[in-house]
Structure 1
């Protein structure tokens, strides 16, 4: 039997990875703080990675595979110190945010990474992942896979980004929906279950190297049109220019008072990264409309009008639409 340790295993992506491993008959252990249950069939070991003895309960045995998803470089380094010699293979889940620039369409895994600064200073998400990747390479060499996902989407997404659009079109019904001007903008998404399946597969094969786990580039106009059709929206779609949205404090990409997935025009490389290696390794990419339908069902279950981590509240959106209408009158 294959023995797998997932560092985490109770969160959104890490839980899906643990589930994929248990589905194959592996013996899966999840090391987590215990705030949530481990997936069915997996064993939960409670441990806080801020504690010096966090790995004591899992460091006394050998593992076939260890998966780590942490974006905390100190956690990654301490896990490697405790466990690197106890596993045959290690998979680290990084991010495409490690790349230094986003202006080159089609860039692959060889693209330049962000520079590292003072290790004692606070680092942004991308630089933290760069530092964690370096620890993995230094400790494990040719026994590790580094997976760099792009925008992970699908049911259960805690960031509320991708689900905003299909959920908003459904909530609006026959009402107007505010969008950015989507020409020459795009997105590159990967379904959470496709990513989890891929992570399990390369762990099973003990593949080593670095791979972008990203979907095919899709125009934002096409993505929004698909979301609208899936949601059954019959109202008007009202685009606004970048400058107008910025002037009215609407943020790019994510977070409160944003239009999710909307990127500045000078970042074409962010949504067009090469996924050739992912494809060659057998990575699956289900149709985006299928993921939209799955996501809409999840959005309905969670509440279309709930408070969100990303996007505009419907009341704010309607206020902006009123202002935009006054300007155009």
Structure 2
């Protein structure tokens, strides 16, 4: 039996991962988290309740783990404190990082060797989203400088079952419900996405004892766009919406922000990352993108298509669409 500790694990990525790992009877799983998010899931799996950003991390130092999968590492000091008390027999520490660590994220097929962000003393303990990439980059440097074998995985925007962010779902919901959809810059800017099933599968595949100490991008699709997402979604759903273009100047004039108001939109032609290293090193095949969209749509169909919490509301969309159609 392999003793596996999962830090986090009951929200999105971790929930999908544990559903996968729990099917393998050679894994002795333990979850360490605060017991706040979805506390009732996985009743048969051992849990250690505690806050990783406190002295509660000492609770995990009493066991000789084979593998640690860190899904909730947002603050460098927390990682330092965890590593201090671990035993040498740890086979591997698997850290889930992010493509947000890159110094330049507006690139074409960015490689793992590209420069990553610095983290100054203020960012080190900052809790705002603006320092997210800096803190994750510092966490990477900490594990890389440690005595432990490690694998660092850098997903891009993750989507799929249990996604609480609604960022990709925003566009699926548009394709399902509306005959006119507001899209930024023709919806043709390219970006990468990571399907949660592929991320969970990759995490399991990296749970091997062999020396690694490597960093990998993990992107299911290295080059897609809002237009392609809407095209695939409409095909699956049997809809045919009209796409109404809004250029970035119009959106900025109306205080519509990239990413938050227009989910997954970055005002750049490219923001995508190469995945060849992980595919070749671990002999992986990722899910066909259209199939992943189909499966994700099936999931939201089972939920009854709730209104997305992310992105601008429909009333504002209609107002902006009306402005654009009058101009034309």
TM > 0.5 between the two?
yes
SS, match of residue 79 in structure 1: helix
- Structure 2 CA distance for aligned equivalents of residues 276 and 87 of structure 1: 28
Q: Does 1:88 align with 2:91?
A: yes
2:184 & 2:157 partners in 1: Cα distance?
Answer: 19
Match of 2:63 in 1: 61
Taking the aligned partners of 1:288 and 1:132, their CA distance within structure 2 comes to 30
Question: Closer, same or farther in 2 for the Cα pair 1:214/1:168, shift >3 Å?
Answer: same
1:181–1:239 CA contact under 8 A, matched in 2: yes
Deviation of residue 88 (structure 1)?
2.1
Shift of 1:207: 5.3
Greater alpha carbon shift after TM alignment, 38-47 vs 126-135 = 38-47
> What residue number does 1:164 align with?
170
Q: Which residue of 1 aligns with 2:136?
A: 129
Tell me what 1:78 maps to.
81
Residues 259-303 of structure 1: per-residue CA shift (max 9 Å, x gap): 21211125x2x22x1111121122332112222122223333445
Is residue 283 of structure 1 aligned with residue 288 of structure 2? no
Contact 2:30–2:45 at 8 Å: present in 1 too? yes
- Aligned residue number for residue 14 of structure 1: 14
Q: Distance in 1 between matches of 2:217 and 2:98?
A: 8
Between the aligned partners of 1:193 and 1:39, the Cα distance in structure 2 is 18
| Structure 1 match to 2:221 | 216
Change over 3 Å in CA distance of 1:12–1:315 after alignment to 2: same
Match of 1:312 in 2: 312
Match of 1:228 in 2: 234
Partner SS state of residue 146, structure 1: strand
TM-score normalised by L of structure 2: 0.89
Q: Structure 1 residue 183: deviation in Å?
A: 6.1
Secondary structure of the residue aligned to 1:251 is coil
CA distance in 2, matches of 1:251, 1:177: 17
How many pairs does the alignment contain? 317
Q: Which residue in 2 is equivalent to 1:195?
A: 199
Offset of 1:84 from its aligned partner? Answer: 5.4
- Runs (5+) with no aligned partner, structure 2: none
- Cα deviation, residue 206, structure 1: 4.4
CA RMSD of aligned residues (A): 2.1
The answer to whether 1:152 aligns with 2:154 is no
Distance in 1 between residues matched to 2:187 and 2:15, nearest whole Å: 36
- 1:274 is the counterpart of 2:274: yes
- Inter-CA distance 37–204: structure 2 relative to 1 (3 Å threshold): farther
Q: 1:115 aligns with which of 94, 113, 118?
A: 118
Partners in 2 of 1:34 and 1:140 — Cα distance?
30
Distance, in Å, in 1 between the alignment partners of 2:43 and 2:190 is 37
Q: TM-score, normalised by structure 1?
A: 0.89
Q: Distance in 2 between matches of 1:82 and 1:11?
A: 26
Shift in Å, 1:30: 0.1
**Cα distance between partner residues in 2 of 1:32 and 1:219:** 34
Unaligned runs of 5+ in 1: none
Q: Distance in 1 between matches of 2:76 and 2:14?
A: 17
Q: Secondary structure at the match of 1:97?
A: helix
CA contact 1:61–1:86 (8 Å) conserved in 2 = no
Secondary structure at 1:148's aligned position in 2? strand
What residue number does 2:256 align with? 250
